[in-house]
Amino acid sequence: MYKITVDRGHALIKIEMRAMLDVADSARLVSELIAQITEARLESYALILDISQCPVQSQDMISAMGQHLTRMKRVRAIAIVTGTMLARLQVRRIFSQPFTRFTSTYDEGLRWVLSGIEPGASPTAG
C-alpha cells in the first residue's frame, strides 16, 4: 500500500504509494510518518512522495490528506513524483506550498529536495 523510508543522514523522508488508500489509511500513513520523524529526531526534513505507481485516489482521501498535511510543520522541501497527468492535477490542489515541486522521476525529485535544482533543469546548470 505504502512504504516510508527515513534517511537521517540527508534528513530525507521518502513515501512510496502503490495502491488505493481510504480515509483511515491516510490517517495511519500520516501517524506513522509523524512517529518516524519523531523517532529520527529530525528538526527539519525534505519529503519525496512517489505516487508514480499509484492509481488516482478518491476525493475523500485527497481531502483527508490535505487536512493531515497541516500537521507537517518542519518540512523544508517537497518533491512529488507523479505518473499520470491526472494524478499530478489531483495532488496539486493539496500541495500548494512554495517549496513543493512536481517531478517526473525520483532522481529529479532528489535533486530538488537536496540541492534546490528545479525540475526540468540540467543537473549541471548553475
Enter the pTM of the model. 0.86
Most confident of 41-45, 56-60, 85-89: 41-45
| Local confidence band at 39 (pLDDT 50, 70, 90 cut-offs) | very high
- All three cell numbers of 97, joined, read 506550498
| Local confidence band at 8 (pLDDT 50, 70, 90 cut-offs) | very high
| Mean pLDDT (whole number) for 80-103 | 80
Across 15-19, 73-77, 89-93, least confident range: 89-93
What is the per-residue pLDDT for 119?
Answer: 87
Fold classification of 2-115 is: Transcription Regulator spoIIAA (3.30.750)
126: burial class by Cβ within 10 Å (0-12, 13-18, 19+)?
A: exposed
List pLDDT tens digits, range 44-54. Answer: 999 999 988 88
Across 51-55, 61-65, 91-95, 96-100, least confident range: 91-95
Domain boundaries, the chain: 2-115
Query: Cα 37 from chain centroid?
Result: 14
Is the pLDDT assigned to residue 125 strictly greater than 60?
no
* Nearest Cα to Cα of residue 91 among 117, 76, 69: 69
